[in-house]
Amino acid sequence: MYLTNNKYREFSLHTRNNDIKNIDSKTFDVAIIGGGITGSGIANILSENSINAILIEKNDFASGTSSGSSKLIHGGLRYLSTGHIMLVRELIKERNYLLKNVNIVKKIKFDVLTGKSQWNKHEIKFGLFLYSMLENKFKMPEFSNGNYTENIGIDGYFTYEDAMTDDSTMVIYNIASAYNNGVLCFNYLELLDFKKDNDYSVLICFDKINKKYITIKARLIINCTGPWANRVNKVLKLPENSEMKLSKGIHIIFNKDYFNIKNALVFRSSIDKRQLFLIPRDHVCILGTTDKFIDNPDDFSINDNDIEYLINSTKKIFTFIDKKDIIASYSGIRPLIGKGSDPGKISRDFKIIDYGNIITVFGGKLTDYRVAARKALKIIKNRLKIDVKIRNMPYINYSRPDKDQVEFIISHECPVYVNDLLRRRLPVLIYDPGNAENFKKENIDKLSRLVSD
């Protein structure tokens, strides 16, 4: 047994292995497949409604797209230019809720560049005004012509405010909230097969930690497997959704002082004019991202061409940028739903398809996961014929203490491997990669309770 905090239930490798012994052949009202932001948000909203539910995730929580994003909680200024005004309005509303209520969501300032090689000054001014109107602020954006003006084709920048978080921590907070409210959540439990048994679906799963098959029965299944949604629908004997596409985005990481910028930067690639971000946070600066169709949801590889693209896209503004100075990198795969040959133009909105006793959530963003959870709950409510609370949900009823976080995380957030903690609980490997080895040494006793990778 580990140290526990009176406020929260223990949720650790130890409790995971105990809980799993009690679920074989047990019946649930809802089984959620996928422990990314979509599945964890739905688990959370179900837990707040005391619905008898279980969530299974084949690897660690947040090990899919939900740890590979740009980590922004934003309205998406770019989506205004593609005409997705209602989506931006909803995203801004969600951003403001999260900023007010969740302490891991913080404000961040962006400088958006204008000029011949960048965006048109008047268009950005109008776009930012519209952006502020969508949150009822009606604020005229301020223009500055300092800092970047020595560079060819840049005449200045507008500064605006959005928000950022850590995507995987947001997932873990939702999972921990759901677990504390009574929804069983398992990492390293993979759905492999499916059959029908009268009114129930029978899920045949594999517990990767104890190397055992487990059978779960559920009245309703919610497929929240992001890029794997079509693959999992095939296991569930459902048709493929031909509108679903996958697009990979990579990010590369430098030391924070490498660029010496105060605000995050939004600029256009000098190769193809796509929008890129350079985001200073903690000990690093994160540069991203790419947007390229791929076929395989397991393909998280980062190839040289993508790295060269980011470096060369940025070189006109930061002439010193060099591939050899990259200290870390990561990738994520966008589950997109829509038509078109340009991934950048496909909507970032989500779509929920109700197949009867199976519901699949396709697409979506980190920022609007609560909207997806509410919409899914409305369908669940009708299927289960129950009364539910939906308005303003889901909340996050969980937070870490300021001190002794490693100990606390091991006891309350169920990391199994050391890497689960280093990459998705306290993402040292992202925000302070140079210090990862020291961190491991300093915490060697605590980390010895986890399985080494």
Ligand X SMILES: Cc1cc2nc3c(=O)[nH]c(=O)nc-3n(C[C@H](O)[C@H](O)[C@H](O)COP(=O)(O)OP(=O)(O)OC[C@H]3O[C@@H](n4cnc5c(N)ncnc54)[C@H](O)[C@@H]3O)c2cc1C
**Is residue 185 part of the contact set for ligand X (CB under 6 A)?**
no
Name the segment binding ligand X (CB under 6 A); options: 24-32, 69-77, 408-416, 438-446.
69-77
Query: In the structure encoding, which two tokens stand for residue 309, read together?
Result: 């693209």
Q: Which C-beta is closer to ligand X: that of 247 or that of 443?
A: 247
Q: Residues 173, 228, 417, 431: which binds ligand X (CB under 6 A)?
A: 228
**Residues in 28-47 that interact with ligand X by CB under 6 A:** 33-39
Rounded CA separation 425/410 (Å): 9
Q: Residues 268, 316, 365, 400: which binds ligand X (CB under 6 A)?
A: 365
Indicate the length of the chain as a whole number.
453
Q: How far is the CB of 399 from ligand X (least distance, A)?
A: 21
**Is residue 115 part of the contact set for ligand X (CB under 6 A)?**
no
**Is residue 394 part of the contact set for ligand X (CB under 6 A)?**
no
Q: Residues 15, 66, 169, 313: which binds ligand X (CB under 6 A)?
A: 66
For 370-386, b/e burial (b = at least 16 CB within 10 A) is bbbbbbbbeebeebbee
Name the segment binding ligand X (CB under 6 A); options: 42-50, 96-104, 154-162, 328-336.
328-336
Dihedral of CA atoms 240, 208, 175, 194 in degrees, nearest 10, equals 40
Q: How far is the CB of 161 from ligand X (least distance, A)?
A: 15
Over its C-alpha atoms, the chain yields an Rg (Å, rounded) of 22
Q: Which C-beta is closer to ligand X: that of 79 or that of 157?
A: 79
Cα 449 → chain centroid: 27
Q: Which C-beta is closer to ligand X: that of 332 or that of 394?
A: 332
Q: Which residue has the tokens 């609980």?
A: 425
Q: Both ends of the chain: CA-CA distance in Å?
A: 22
Q: How far is the CB of 33 from ligand X (least distance, A)?
A: 5
In order, the DSSP letters of 227-258 are: GGHHHHHHHTT----TTEEEEEEEEEEEEGGG
Rounded CA separation 69/50 (Å): 31
**Is residue 105 part of the contact set for ligand X (CB under 6 A)?**
no
Which class for 446: exposed (0-12), middle (13-18), buried (19 or more C-beta within 10 A)? middle
**Is residue 224 part of the contact set for ligand X (CB under 6 A)?**
yes
Beta strands in 115-263 (DSSP E): 143-144, 156-164, 184-186, 189-197, 200-207, 212-223, 244-255
Q: Which C-beta is closer to ligand X: that of 276 or that of 380?
A: 276
Crossing angle (nearest 10°) for helices 37-48 and 167-180:
30
**Is residue 190 part of the contact set for ligand X (CB under 6 A)?**
yes
Cα 139 → chain centroid: 30
Name the segment binding ligand X (CB under 6 A); options: 148-156, 176-184, 223-231, 438-446.
223-231
Q: Which C-beta is closer to ligand X: that of 66 or that of 114?
A: 66
Q: Residues 44, 181, 225, 443: which binds ligand X (CB under 6 A)?
A: 225
Q: Count CB atoms within 10 A of the CB of residue 44.
A: 30
**Is residue 57 part of the contact set for ligand X (CB under 6 A)?**
yes
Q: Residues 59, 82, 215, 255: which binds ligand X (CB under 6 A)?
A: 59
**Is residue 249 part of the contact set for ligand X (CB under 6 A)?**
yes
Q: How far is the CB of 167 from ligand X (least distance, A)?
A: 6
Q: Which C-beta is closer to ligand X: that of 316 or that of 365?
A: 365
How wide is the angle at C-alpha 276 spanned by C-alphas 273 and 282, nearest 5°?
165
Name the segment binding ligand X (CB under 6 A); options: 136-144, 153-161, 360-368, 420-428.
360-368
How wide is the angle at C-alpha 265 spanned by C-alphas 261 and 267, nearest 5°?
135
Q: How far is the CB of 19 from ligand X (least distance, A)?
A: 16
Rounded CA separation 273/239 (Å): 37
**Residues in 263-322 that interact with ligand X by CB under 6 A:** 289
**Is residue 433 part of the contact set for ligand X (CB under 6 A)?**
no
Q: Which C-beta is closer to ligand X: that of 84 or that of 446?
A: 84
**Is residue 366 part of the contact set for ligand X (CB under 6 A)?**
yes
Adjacent-strand bridge partners of 245: 336
**Is residue 227 part of the contact set for ligand X (CB under 6 A)?**
yes
Q: How far is the CB of 333 from ligand X (least distance, A)?
A: 6
Q: Residues 178, 185, 294, 333: which binds ligand X (CB under 6 A)?
A: 333
Closest CA to 219 of 236, 196, 240, 199: 199
How wide is the angle at C-alpha 37 spanned by C-alphas 8 and 41, nearest 5°?
60
Closest CA to 57 of 206, 180, 193: 206
Q: How far is the CB of 172 from ligand X (least distance, A)?
A: 12
Q: How many residues bind ligand X (CB under 6 A)?
A: 38
Give, as one character, the DSSP assignment of residue 282.
T
- Asked whether the beta carbons of 43 and 62 are under 8 A apart, the reply is no
Q: Which residues bind ligand X (CB under 6 A)?
A: 33-39, 56-59, 63-66, 68-72, 190-191, 224-228, 232, 249, 289, 332-335, 364-367
